[in-house]
Amino acid sequence: MSDRPREIFSRIAGRYDFLNRVLSFGREQEWRRRGVVHLPEGRILDLGSGTGAAADVFGDREVVALDPVPEMMALNPIVKRVVAFGEALPFGDGSFDGVFSAYVFRNLVSIPVTLEEVSRVLRPGGVLVIIGLGRPRNVVARWLHRLGSAVFLPLAGLMVGSPGEYWYLHRSLDKLLPPEEMFVTGPLHLERVWRMGPLGFVYGAVLRKPYQLLDSPSAALWTRSRRVSKVRGRRR
3-state DSSP of 25-73: CCCHHHHHHHHHCCCCCCEEEEECCCCCCCHHHCCCCEEEEEECCHHHH
Residue, of 150 and 34, whose pLDDT is higher: 34
Specify the CATH number for the domain of residue 195.
3.40.50.150
pLDDT at 157: 67
Reported as a single tens digit per residue, the pLDDT across 179-209 is 999 999 999 999 999 999 888 889 999 999 9
The winner for highest mean pLDDT among 60-69, 129-138, 217-226 is 60-69
Other CB atoms within 10 A of residue 64 CB: 19
- Considering its fold, how many domains does the chain have in total? 1
- Contact status, residue 200 vs residue 114, Cβ threshold 8 Å: no
- 206 — phi, psi (to 5°)? -120, 125
pLDDT at 106: 84
The CA distance from 118 to 100, in Å, is 10
| Domain span holding position 56 | 3-235
The CA distance from 177 to 183, in Å, is 9
Residue 116 has pLDDT above 50, yes or no: yes
Reported as a single tens digit per residue, the pLDDT across 6-46 is 555 655 555 666 666 666 667 888 999 999 999 999 999 99
- pTM score above 0.95: no
